[in-house]
Amino acid sequence: MTSTEINAETSPATGPAASTASGPAGRAVSTAHLVAARRAARKKHDQRERLISAGATSALVVIVVVALSPFLWALLTSVKPFRAAFTNPPTWVFTPELSSFSDLWRGTIFAFVLGNTLLIAVVTVLVALAIGAPAAYAFARYSGIVGPVLLLLAVVLRTIPRFAVVLPFYEISQALGIFDTRFALIAALVALNMPFTLLLLIGFFRDIPVELDEAAMIDGCSRFTAFTRVILPVMGPGLVTAGVFTFLIAFQEYLVALTLTRTDAITIPVFLAAQKGADDVSTYQTLAAASVLLVIPVILIAVFARKYLVAGLGGGAVKG
């Protein structure tokens, strides 16, 4: 046997057979490394996402606690015994009492003021929607130069500071003999909040396809009938959303109510501000109880209208 033959027999295999033997194994190793690298990257990504979520949750909890702390403090003050309400450091263990609420209800005109405030807020919502819904429908459906100009004027009116417009309302109410009446306060609140109502409702009307109007009119409806029987039912979430926000603004309005009322049409914010403060600590618990009762209707409305608010703020009732 020659040296060439010996070298050929002992040399490693080369050629297609060798590549066939080593190719699949090499690809398997590469695939395993790739899978491991992807798993490591996914694990790092998941850890980063968990850290971000934990940080966002912690920040949200802190914000909520800070935002609710005044209300919680007022609630604790309203149910503490009189001596425990003013101790330093604060008393955390006590037997709750409701005497401040009974004193508020029996010893003041709070019941009348609460009913007055609810009546003014509800009527303001009804009037604002009765005027704002047809107006917003017209702005959303008709094109031209007049509509945008009027809408711009409404937005400008909304941006004017309240203290710049309350004096004209005061003078008008005095001249017409309607000062310190619910009518004057409702009219002022509707006028001041109408731009906000229009802007909110226009977006909802624009989300409703024009084909609904056209189909209704083909079936024999007039424009007004199509609006009342077809468009308004579809606008339910939008109307509820606009109504809730208008109610909250009217229910908590202070400057306009202070300027246009004295006794007969007084609202809760004005009533609270008129009570004795730093010079009489005996009223602190009564004021705390009034503050708690002021928040309760807002909480009930938010809970009741939550699903409508979510649907409404999601962009409208119908997507074309």
* Of 85-99, 150-164, 184-198, highest mean pLDDT: 184-198
User: Which of 11-25, 154-168, 220-234, 259-273 shows the lowest per-residue confidence on average (mean pLDDT)?
Assistant: 11-25
User: Which of 12-16, 109-113, 292-296 shows the lowest per-residue confidence on average (mean pLDDT)?
Assistant: 12-16
Distance between CA atoms of residues 142 and 94, nearest Å: 64
Distance between CA atoms of residues 105 and 112, nearest Å: 9
**pLDDT score recorded for residue 61:** 92
pLDDT (mean) for 287-291: 88
**pLDDT score recorded for residue 180:** 92
pLDDT digits (tens, 9 = 90+) for 76-92: 888 888 888 888 888 88
Q: Is 220 helix (H, G, I), strand (E, B) or coil?
A: coil
Distance between CA atoms of residues 268 and 284, nearest Å: 16
What is the reported pTM?
A: 0.75
pLDDT of residue 74 exceeding 70, the answer is: yes
Phi-psi region of 180 (alpha: psi -120 to 50; beta: other; left: phi over 0): left
pLDDT digits (tens, 9 = 90+) for 189-212: 999 989 889 988 988 888 888 888
**pLDDT score recorded for residue 277:** 58
pLDDT digits (tens, 9 = 90+) for 7-46: 444 444 444 444 444 556 666 667 777 777 788 888 888 8
* Of 20-29, 260-269, 307-316, highest mean pLDDT: 260-269
Neighbours of 166 (CB within 10 A): 18
pLDDT (mean) for 48-68: 90
**pLDDT score recorded for residue 4:** 47
Residues with Cβ within 8 Å of 154's Cβ and at least 6 positions away in sequence, in order, are 194, 195, 198, 199
- Burial (Cβ within 10 Å: 0-12, 13-18, ≥19) of residue 257: buried
**pLDDT score recorded for residue 15:** 46
Q: Which of 144, 125, 276 is nearest to 194 (CA)?
A: 125
